[in-house]
Amino acid sequence: NAGVTQTPKFQVLKTGQSMTLQCAQDMNHNSMYWYRQDPGMGLRLIYYSASEGTTDKGEVPNGYNVSRLNKREFSLRLESAAPSQTSVYFCASSIASGRATYFGPGTRLTVL
Partner 1 sequence: AQKITQTQPGMFVQEKEAVTLDCTYDTSDPSYGLFWYKQPSSGEMIFLIYQGSYDQQNATEGRYSLNFQKARKSANLVISASQLGDSAMYFCAMRLTGRRALTFGSGTRLQVQP
Contact segment (CB under 8 A) with partner 1 among 14-22, 42-50, 62-70, 71-79 equals 42-50
Based on the shown chain and the rule CB under 8 A, indicate whether residue 99 belongs to the binding site for partner 1. yes
Q: What is the DSSP letter of 75?
A: E
Neighbours of 17 (CB within 10 A): 14
Q: Does 106 bind partner 1 (CB under 8 A)?
A: yes
For partner 1, what does the binding mask look like between residues 45 and 64, x meaning CB under 8 A? x--x-x-------x------
Whose CA is closest to 107, among 30, 51, 34, 18?
34
- Distance, in Å, from the CA atom of 47 to the CA atom of 51, rounded to the nearest integer, reads 12
Q: Site for partner 1 (CB under 8 A): which residue of 23, 24, 25, 31?
A: 31
Question: Cis omega before residue 8 (within 30°)?
Answer: yes
Instruction: Name every residue whose Cβ is closer than 8 Å to that of residue 16 and which is 6 or more positions away in sequence.
Output: 80, 81
- Span from 20-28, 41-49, 69-77, 79-87 in contact with partner 1 (CB under 8 A): 41-49
* Count of residues near partner 1 by CB under 8 A: 24
Instruction: List contacts with partner 1 (CB under 8 A).
Output: 31, 33, 40-45, 48, 50, 58, 88, 90, 92, 94, 96, 99-103, 105-106, 108
